[in-house]
């Protein structure tokens, strides 16, 4: 029963299981409906510490009624009894108790790939920035893959759908790049001549050319930044590979420690593919530290007699991307000297 001339707050009281994880990756949709008025928003439930939950709420005001909801981001600590209060909204009841109140919290699906649609537009064709826009769409797909990986979601149809999307994306990317790009042949030659045995000259050019920003590069610094970005992404993917391998049901238990360490080593490697060293002239040293992480992984695998071909192949593949990043920053430093 609703009292007249009264402000109400609507809350959902929840308790998260101790094994809960990944709740800050994908949002849940919250809604509050009073009579004909409805307010909606998103909520991220974030586990900040073990046995200590916190909720990060981010809402968008879509209400055109007396349901008042401001755009904000709050952190709500769990109560002493272990339950969490999720505020769904507030409203003012001015006339009687006849209104029906409906509250809802449900999963939001396809959020990242929905965002990708925004970047696949025609405006960039006129401004010459279409390749960058399209590449941002790929970022959204990558975020989706990261979310699935961190949530340990293993659904073949989902993975297949993303691969199908990437194939279509590749066609769009190739088309817009061809429409606006002038290949920086001289810059690519300067970099790829530094590539070592892990990567051939042709492979170096091919990998760099696959990055849209490379085609817009006007200096060695631009090429180096792109090469570092490529290597950083590859390091993240390699870390995810070992994480997925670690969770494989068929994995020999004796291999788990080494595989877990490798996931950590390649996650650490991403730190060394940063832009700070480009300004100070120490980027080649930073990048070389990333190679040390890969070698630590190989040492662990060898010590525990881990003989998994896909793991060895993945490390060799990573070394190819590392070689290009190292070649790019070395070429830049030598040019400055």
Band (pLDDT 50/70/90 cuts) for residue 160 is confident
Out of 22-31, 48-57, 123-132, which region has the weakest mean confidence (pLDDT)?
48-57
Q: For residues 156 and 166, what is the distance between their CA atoms, to the nearest angstrom?
A: 15
Cβ neighbour number for residue 105 with a 10 Å cutoff = 14
User: What integer is the mean pLDDT of 223-231?
Assistant: 91
Which CATH superfamily, name and number, covers 183-337?
Invertase/pectin methylesterase inhibitor family protein (1.20.140.40)
Q: For residues 187 and 183, what is the distance between their CA atoms, to the nearest angstrom?
A: 9
Out of 68-72, 162-166, 192-196, which region has the weakest mean confidence (pLDDT)?
68-72
Rounded to the nearest integer, the mean pLDDT of the chain is 76
Could you tell me if 194 and 170 are in contact, meaning their C-beta atoms sit under 8 angstroms apart?
no
Q: So what's the pLDDT on residue 166?
A: 85
Out of 57-61, 143-147, 293-297, which region has the weakest mean confidence (pLDDT)?
57-61
Q: For residues 256 and 250, what is the distance between their CA atoms, to the nearest angstrom?
A: 11
Taking the domains of the chain in order of start, what are their residue ranges?
A: 6-107, 109-180, 183-337
Query: Is pLDDT of 180 > 70?
Result: no
Tell me the chain's radius of gyration from C-alpha atoms: 25
Query: Is pLDDT of 78 > 50?
Result: yes
Q: So what's the pLDDT on residue 316?
A: 93
Q: For residues 69 and 135, what is the distance between their CA atoms, to the nearest angstrom?
A: 35
Q: Using H for helix, E for strand and C for coil, what is the string for 161-192?
A: HHHHHHHHHHHHHHHHHHHHCCCCHHHHHHHH
User: What integer is the mean pLDDT of 277-284?
Assistant: 79
Q: Which residue has the higher pLDDT, 336 or 232?
A: 232
User: What integer is the mean pLDDT of 135-147?
Assistant: 80
Band (pLDDT 50/70/90 cuts) for residue 306 is very high
Closest CA to 45 of 9, 83, 90: 83
Most confident of 58-67, 79-88, 204-213: 204-213
Band (pLDDT 50/70/90 cuts) for residue 209 is confident
Q: For residues 161 and 110, what is the distance between their CA atoms, to the nearest angstrom?
A: 12
- Which uninterrupted H or E stretch holds 301? helix 283-303
Out of 128-137, 143-152, 276-285, 288-297, which region has the weakest mean confidence (pLDDT)?
128-137
The CA-CA-CA angle for residues 258, 327, 137, to 5°, reads: 75
Q: For residues 226 and 243, what is the distance between their CA atoms, to the nearest angstrom?
A: 26
**Counting Cβ atoms within 10 Å, is residue 293 exposed (0-12), middle (13-18) or buried (19+)?**
buried
Query: Is pLDDT of 3 > 80?
Result: no
Q: For residues 25 and 112, what is the distance between their CA atoms, to the nearest angstrom?
A: 10
Q: So what's the pLDDT on residue 75?
A: 41
SS3 65: coil
Q: For residues 112 and 311, what is the distance between their CA atoms, to the nearest angstrom?
A: 29
Band (pLDDT 50/70/90 cuts) for residue 126 is low
Most confident of 58-62, 175-179, 242-246: 242-246
Q: For residues 212 and 308, what is the distance between their CA atoms, to the nearest angstrom?
A: 34
Q: For residues 27 and 229, what is the distance between their CA atoms, to the nearest angstrom?
A: 27
Q: For residues 290 and 270, what is the distance between their CA atoms, to the nearest angstrom?
A: 7
Query: Is pLDDT of 65 > 70?
Result: no
Q: Which residue has the higher pLDDT, 40 or 123?
A: 40
Q: So what's the pLDDT on residue 310?
A: 94
Q: How many CA atoms lie within 13 A of 316 on its CB side?
A: 8
Out of 10-14, 122-126, 187-191, 237-241, which region has the weakest mean confidence (pLDDT)?
122-126
Q: So what's the pLDDT on residue 253?
A: 92
In the chain, % of residues over pLDDT 90:
24
Q: So what's the pLDDT on residue 86?
A: 78
User: pLDDT per residue over 5-29, tens digit each?
Assistant: 788 788 878 776 655 555 555 566 7
- Which uninterrupted H or E stretch holds 85? strand 84-93
Instruction: Classify residue 97 by its DSSP letter.
Output: S
Q: So what's the pLDDT on residue 107?
A: 62
Q: For residues 24 and 17, what is the distance between their CA atoms, to the nearest angstrom?
A: 15
């Amino acid at each position: 029963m609703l009292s007249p001339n009264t402000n109400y707050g609507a809350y959902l009281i929840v308790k998260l299981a101790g094994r809960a994880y990944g709740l800050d990756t994908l949002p849940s949709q919250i809604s509050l409906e009073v009579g004909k008025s409805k307010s909606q928003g998103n909520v991220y439930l974030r586990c900040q510490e073990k046995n200590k939950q916190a909720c990060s709420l981010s809402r968008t005001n879509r209400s055109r009624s007396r349901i008042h909801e401001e755009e904000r981001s709050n952190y709500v600590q769990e109560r002493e009894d272990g339950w969490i209060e999720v505020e769904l909204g507030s409203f003012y009841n001015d006339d009687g108790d006849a209104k029906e109140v409906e509250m809802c919290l449900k999963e939001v699906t396809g959020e990242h790939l929905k965002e990708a649609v925004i970047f696949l537009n025609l405006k960039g064709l006129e401004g010459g920035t279409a390749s960058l826009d399209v590449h941002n769409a790929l970022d959204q797909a990558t975020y989706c893959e990261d979310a699935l990986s961190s949530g340990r979601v293993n659904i073949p149809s989902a993975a297949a759908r993303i691969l199908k999307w990437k194939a279509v994306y590749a066609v769009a990317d190739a088309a817009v790049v061809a429409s606006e790009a002038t290949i920086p042949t001289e810059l690519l030659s300067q970099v790829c001549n530094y590539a070592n045995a892990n990567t051939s000259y042709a492979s170096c050019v091919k990998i760099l050319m696959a990055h849209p920003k490379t085609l817009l590069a006007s200096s060695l610094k631009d090429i180096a930044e792109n090469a570092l970005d490529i290597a950083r992404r590859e390091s993240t993917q390699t870390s995810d590979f070992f994480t997925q391998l670690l969770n494989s049901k068929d994995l020999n238990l004796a291999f788990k420690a080494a595989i877990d360490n490798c996931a950590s080593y390649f996650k650490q490697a991403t730190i060394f593919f940063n832009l700070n060293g480009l300004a100070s002239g120490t980027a080649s040293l930073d990048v070389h530290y990333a190679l040390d992480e890969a070698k630590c992984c190989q040492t662990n695998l060898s010590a525990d007699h881990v003989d998994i071909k896909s793991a060895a192949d993945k490390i060799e593949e990573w070394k190819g991307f590392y070689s290009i990043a190292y070649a790019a920053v070395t070429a830049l430093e030598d040019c400055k000297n």
